[in-house]
């Protein structure tokens, strides 16, 4: 498919907003599961974050054509990202989207996708479909009502450049999948009716909204919203990063110890920002529940 021909959709509602329209943006997230807020970051911050993602994820340029890398504790290694905490337009927006005046860092990530990288399968980050003892870090960190998507595509989001796509209204608790598809048994993805229950890769189902954003725009999607990313089909690396917050005091009991890098991050963070890490638990991406039962 020639992804350069994918057009920005015209929907029956607004989903792009300015910084003085945060309540309207949150209403769109509530109604349709996603929104875009324009120009949240300055050009200077965008440039610093671009350089930071490159330095932390691929400092030697070792990733080859078509390869990608995701860093799941980016905040612990990126002082450039710490600057967002003192950037009041950014923090004001996060308080609105998390519906809380006091926030703590839930998790962070950065992604580098080289030219030629493949599309992602459709999925939701929500881990609340199953109960019981947690089996992986997502079961611990992704079961709350806060947004799972607070992302900056700091080289822009466009279909031909590995941009993000969401499915409108897929955040609803009673959503059963796009027309002609059914949810996988774990409800984390979907597949064509009558096919094997594997996570779907493709952009041909109803409700897909390809997002077209500039580097300083913030993409917000709700806890349950299903999303994917196009392949990167241009000769330029695609960079993205995000910070997920949760309301401070919301109980999250991590079954892993705070890592050395997380402890160093908390210690190095300026004192006036320490309220943001009062309940920070970091992440151990290798942790699995069966280890706890061994």
Q: How far apart are CA 18 and CA 34, in angstroms?
A: 15
Q: Identify the DSSP state of 283.
A: -
78 has a pLDDT exceeding 80: yes
Q: Give the global pTM.
A: 0.96
Query: Mean pLDDT of all residues in the chain?
Result: 96
Bridge-based pairing state of the strands 190-192 and 181-183: antiparallel
Reported as a single tens digit per residue, the pLDDT across 273-286 is: 999 999 999 999 99
pLDDT tens digits, one per residue of 137-165: 999 999 999 999 899 999 999 999 999 99
Read off the pLDDT of residues 30-51 as tens digits, 9 standing for 90 and up: 999 999 999 999 999 999 999 9
Q: Tell me the pLDDT tens digit for each residue of 187-224.
A: 999 999 999 999 999 999 999 999 999 999 999 999 99
State yes or no: pLDDT of 290 exceeds 80: no
Reported as type and span, the H/E element at residue 223 is none
The angle formed by the CA atoms of residues 60, 65 and 71, to the nearest 5 degrees, is: 55
Percent of the chain scoring above 70 in pLDDT: 99
Q: Measure the CA–CA gap between 122 and 191, rounded to whole angstroms.
A: 9
With cut-offs at 50, 70 and 90, classify the pLDDT of residue 251. confident
- Say if CB 221 and CB 166 are below 8 A apart: yes
Domains of the chain are 3-293 (2.60.120.620)
| Beta carbons within 8 Å of 158's beta carbon, 6+ residues apart | 212
Q: What is the CA radius of gyration of the chain?
A: 18
3-state secondary structure of 232: strand
What digits encode the pLDDT tens for the residues 164-184? 999 999 999 999 999 999 999
Question: Residue 291 — pLDDT band, cuts 50, 70, 90?
Answer: very low
């Amino acid at each position: 498919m020639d992804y350069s021909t994918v057009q920005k959709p015209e929907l029956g509602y607004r989903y792009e907003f300015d910084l003085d329209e945060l309540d309207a943006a949150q209403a769109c997230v509530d109604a349709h599961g996603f929104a875009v807020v324009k120009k949240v970051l300055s050009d200077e911050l965008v440039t610093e974050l671009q350089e930071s993602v490159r330095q932390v994820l691929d400092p030697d340029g070792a990733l080859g054509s078509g390869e990608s890398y995701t860093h799941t504790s980016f905040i612990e290694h990126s002082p450039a990202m710490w600057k967002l905490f003192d950037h009041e337009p950014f923090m004001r927006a996060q308080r609105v989207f998390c519906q809380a005046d006091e926030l703590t860092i839930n998790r962070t990530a950065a992604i580098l996708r080289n030219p030629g990288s493949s599309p992602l399968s459709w999925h939701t980050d929500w881990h609340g479909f199953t109960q019981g003892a947690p089996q992986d870090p997502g079961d611990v960190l992704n079961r709350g009502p806060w947004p799972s998507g607070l992302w900056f595509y700091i080289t822009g989001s466009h279909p031909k450049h590995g941009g993000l796509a969401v499915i409108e209204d897929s955040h609803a608790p009673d959503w059963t999948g796009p027309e002609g598809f059914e949810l996988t048994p774990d409800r984390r993805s979907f597949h064509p009716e009558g096919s094997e229950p594997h996570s779907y890769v493709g952009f041909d189902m109803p409700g897909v909204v390809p997002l077209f954003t500039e580097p300083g725009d913030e993409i917000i999607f709700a806890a349950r919203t299903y999303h994917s990313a196009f392949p990167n089909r241009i000769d330029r690396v695609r960079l993205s990063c995000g910070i997920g917050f949760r309301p401070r005091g919301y109980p999250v009991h991590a079954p892993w110890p705070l890592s050395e890098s997380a402890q160093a991050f908390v210690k190095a963070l300026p004192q006036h920002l320490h309220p943001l890490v009062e309940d920070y638990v970091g992440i151990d991406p290798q942790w699995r529940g069966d280890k706890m039962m061994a």
